[in-house]
Amino acid sequence: MRSQARSGVRFRRYTITAVAVIASLIVIGRITGVVVDGLWFASVGYLDVFWTVLSTKVLLFVAVFAISAGAIGVSGFLAHRYARRLGPSLVGVTAAPDARDVISELTGHATPRVAWRAGIAGAAVLVGLVIAASEMSNWDTALRFLRQVPFGERDPLFARDIGFYLFSLPAYVALKNWLLRVLFASAVVAGLVYGVRGDIVFEPPPRGLSPVAIAHGSALLGVFFLLKAWSYWLDRFLLLYGDNGVVVGAGYTDVHVELPVLWMLVGLAAAAAIVLCINLRWRSYRIPAAAAVLVFGSSFVFAVIYPALFQRFYVKPSELQLEARYIEHNIALTRQAYGLARIEVKPFAAEQGLNLASLQANRPTVDNIRLWDVQPLMDTYAQLQEIRTYYKFFAVDIDRYRLDSGYRQVMLSARELEPAMLPVNAQTWVNLHLLFTHGSGLVMSPVTEKSTEGLPFLYLQDIPPAADGGPAIREPRLYFGEGGQGYVIVNGSVPEFDYPKGKDNVYTAYSGRDGVAIGSTARRSLFAWQLDDPNILLTGYITDQSRILLHRNIRDRVRTIAPFLSLDHDPYIVASNGRLFWMQDAYTTSRWFPYAQPGFGDGANYIRNAVKVVVDAYNGTLDFYVSDPDDPILRTYQRIFPGLFKPLEAMPQDLQRHIRYPEDLFLIQAQLYRAYHMDAPEVFYNREDLWQFPRGLGGIDGGNAPAPMAPYYMIMRLPGEPRAEFVLMLPMVPSQRENMIAWLAARCDPPAYGKLIVYAFPKDKLVFGPFQIEARIQQNTEISQQISLWNQMGSRVIRGHLLVVPIENSILYISPLYLRAASGQLPELKRVIAAYGDRVVMEETLGEALAALFKESAAAASPSRGTADARAGEALARYDRAIERLKAGDWAGFGAELDALRPLLEALGAGRPEYRK
């Protein structure tokens, strides 16, 4: 027995030691993580943000832990005290021998008062820590509740400010769920104590509960029903998020059946709580059982079965009539939640009046028709401009610049360093963290131009970047980008690799603002522990001036500072005043907007592009600019973090010229607008005018798998506008049809930035949609024969995506065609397909395609009076010269020939009776 006791003591000692060591390591890891985060936040100038979040998490953790552990401990101690004092009172029942054996073994063959208290306290602390740790993630909800601002609009059912739903309701729901967890844990701990002491017996003979267990259970159940009454009260507001298949939000059944039922359940739960408080004296197990059956049975019958029957047999037969009012609520608030109410609708005639003169008048649009698709261009960039295996282009961005050649749409990509692409034997710690630290420059090309070989014409190329028509780059180094970069240490005794130059390499030293000082032994030990990399402590290459650069991926960098913002999938590189910057669109979102259709993410139903984030690619500095100052969620965050956000006017003017409407937001809005452009409940209910995204083709061998078209950027002159501008657009077609019915455009240039316009086609006119044009292209014998021939000659044909190009009140369709060797990775732009009306042509260049497309129509429209007419001959000569100028891309010569052609045609027209006035 003594040896067993000694073994038990040693086992408990080892167990306690192991638990203490593990707990210490966890605590040290947490502390070092906080210290490292604090140092990094201080290095980027956002220490106030760090302290706000940290202090809120700490206060929330302490408060939740104290209340949770206290409540659980009080419940356990009360159970222990009264069970011990009164003893088991069930007839013939004593504490189970095996239970006593367990307690005896755990407490060293004794069950003293201290052991019981220690066990209960330990359970309360452990469970309290778990609950508190899980509630720390609600720091954002707590801060938004405390610092909320009013929305300024009210919901149509309860007439509460929508800010209540965005800020208060989530906090109340989180508070309710936390209290229910604490109550459940308190009941479990008390139940275990009563079970071990014999006050609760489930095995015969006999089964039963002691009076003290009944009293304790009644108290806990009474508290539960009080919480349940509050929960039913909150459920009234949650009706505004339901979906019965017709209405998103509260429908007819919800308002006329479920809402009164919830008030009834509030009363029943409150009455049950009062009765259970009285049962503390009566101590009957029948009263709690009856209360539970009454409340939960009523909930099942009146909140589940009755509404379902009412909906099926009363509402369903007259659904449109009864639900019309609530459909209106859904339409209005969904349009408000997604900014659809601001969309302006304009008519688009879809005429067939496009001609060469129209093209000349819209030269900025024609000059910027995009012929390069993203993937073929990325493959081409990789083959021509990655220079070394350790450089990589992660994405191709689309932007516009004011260059010497005019306002041009360009495609560009940053040349980033990818350490994983170093040769395996070169992936040493020194190379990965000290030597290869940054990328170099970018590549830029116009969207329309190509060389005679079918390759893009490069405005920016090589290392260091050489400009040929593009902006000059004075600081090309990219320490921060889209790659998954780990940490690097700069200003060590090892010079940093800058770029290759012939057989030699050029080296540099970082002189930017970013980085945490790491020269001291204490700092090196701290980062070696936190990053799990002892080389930081052991290396001799770190000096007193060394700094460590963390969070070098820009999305990770932004998310670390502002985790409450949702980020657009596509940050893009901007060259401005000789430096490189990343622009990242950020959104405020919510799942709590009443009556709004969930449209993205984890059920979110509200979104605003409230913030534009600018990250310096060299310095790593971050600036958060407010792009939607009216957004109540952002205004709340401005109160929480007063030093984080800057007005958009504070952004440098040159960077403001590169702001663009984000594609993710546009896609979400377009997706919702397919149905929510219908504002009449009857039309919406019947889905009479449902739209969808057009299908398109693209890819190898003509892209045999149709896919929905994606939005695309282009420079164009919108109908009725005086100048060309950068827009994001997407065509629309009717549901189950392929003809085009409208196109949606988002304006990107100031002062009209952010305005959305829908250009609606006449419903009595057929306008070919993209998929119909694709079918006409495939049915064109000359084009299909040429594609088949190329595919049989060792090349692979890549059909580019079809672009819908609105010009004035007409629609032009353009699609590029690439060739790639079967064993190669260098696509070449070889042909341009153009379609207008019922004509489809394919030529080597865009100019030639447009000339061929409109030559036939111009010849058919011109008057003919025989070859003897000298003016007709001169007009024909002028026209032919204009076509030659257009094919050569000489727009100035093309315009001059058209100007000379006009008076000749007017003179010819004046001589014909049908042209005389």
Q: Is residue 215 part of a domain?
A: yes
Q: What is the 3-state secondary structure (H, E, C) of 125-193?
A: HHHHHHHHHHHHHHHHHHHHHHCCCCCCCECCCCCCEHHHHHHHHHHHHHHHHHHHHHHHHHHHHHHHH
Domain identity same for 130 and 222:
yes
Q: In whole angstroms, what is the distance from residue 624 CA to residue 583 CA?
A: 10
The answer to whether residues 585 and 665 touch, using CB atoms and an 8 Å cutoff, is yes
Inside any domain, residue 66: yes
Is the CB of residue 626 less than 8 Å from the CB of residue 547?
Answer: no
What long-range pairs does 602-607 form, CB within 8 A, spacing at least 24?
A: 605/334, 605/337, 606/166, 606/337, 606/338, 606/633, 607/337, 607/338, 607/339, 607/566, 607/665, 607/668
Where among 815, 846, 877 does a domain terminate? 846
Distance of alpha carbon 718 from alpha carbon 724, whole angstroms: 7
Domain assignment present for residue 556? The answer is: no
In a domain, 397, yes or no: no
3-state helix, strand, coil in the chain (%, to 5): 50, 20, 30
Last residue of a domain, one of 846, 872, 895: 846
Domain end marker among 624, 659, 694: 659
Q: Which phi and psi (to 5°) does residue 731 adopt?
A: -70, 160
Is 145 found in the same domain as 187?
A: yes
Domain annotation covers residue 506? no
Instruction: Give burial (CB, 10 Å; 0-12/13-18/19+) of 385.
Output: buried
Same domain, 117 and 230: yes
CA distance 206 to 90: 8
Alpha helices (H) in 47-96, listed in sequence order? 47-86
CB 384, CB 455: distance < 8 Å: yes
Strand order in the sheet with 547-549: 488-490, 547-549, 516-517
Please state, in angstroms and rounded to a whole number, the distance separating the CA atoms of residues 764 and 127. 69
| pLDDT attached to residue 376 | 92
**Gyration radius of the chain's alpha carbons:** 36
d(CA 61, CA 137): 10
Report d(CA 239, CA 692) in Å as an integer. Answer: 29
Write the single-letter amino acid at 710.
Answer: A
Cis peptide before 205 (omega within 30 of 0): yes
Both 169 and 303 in a single domain?
A: yes
Are 870 and 840 part of one and the same domain?
Answer: no
Write down the pLDDT at residue 205: 57
What is the structure's pLDDT at 38? 96
Q: Are residues 629 and 745 in the same domain?
A: no
Q: Report yes or no on 452 lying in a domain.
A: no
- Do 827 and 886 belong together in one domain? no
Q: Which residue, among 132, 127, 135, 134, has the nearest Cα to 74 in the 3D structure?
A: 127
Whether residue 785 is found in the same domain as residue 830: yes
pLDDT in the model for residue 888: 62
Alpha-carbon separation of residue 612 from 585, 619, 663, 675, 871 (angstroms): 5, 18, 14, 29, 59
Q: How many residues comprise the chain?
A: 917
Strands 691-692, 725-734: pairing is antiparallel
In this structure, is residue 49 part of a structural domain? no
Residue 596 is given by DSSP the state P
* pTM recorded for the entire structure: 0.88
Query: In terms of residue numbers, what domain contains 149?
Result: 54-317
- Which among 360, 264, 330, 268 has a CA at the least distance from the CA of 598? 330
C-alpha 882/C-alpha 151 separation (Å) is 59
752 in the same domain as 625: no
CA distance 444 to 462: 10
831 is a domain residue: yes
Overall domain count for the chain: 4
DSSP label of 488 = E
Which three-class secondary structure state does DSSP give residue 748? Answer: coil
Distance CA 645, CA 657 (A): 20
Torsion-angle region of 166 (φ positive above 0: left; ψ -120 to 50: alpha; else: beta): alpha
Contact predicate 850/814, CB 8 Å = no
Nearest-10 crossing angle of helices 169-197, 97-106: 110
Report strand pairing: 742-747 vs 756-760.
antiparallel
Nearest to 760 by CA among 671, 699, 689: 689
What stretches in the chain show pLDDT beneath 70? 1-16, 18-20, 23, 25, 84-113, 202-207, 698-704, 856-874, 877-878, 884-896, 898-900, 902-917
Q: What are phi and psi of 691, to 5 degrees?
A: -105, 170
611 to 199, 284, 553, 636: CA distances (angstroms): 60, 60, 19, 13
Residue 868 burial (10 A CB sphere; 0-12, 13-18, 19+): exposed
**686 and 650 share a domain?**
no
Matching residue, tokens 């059912």: 157
- Are 299 and 346 in the same domain? no
Distance CA 846, CA 830 (A): 11
Same domain, 614 and 578: yes
CB-based contacts of 387: which residues, under 8 Å, 6+ apart? 415, 462, 463, 500
DSSP 693: P
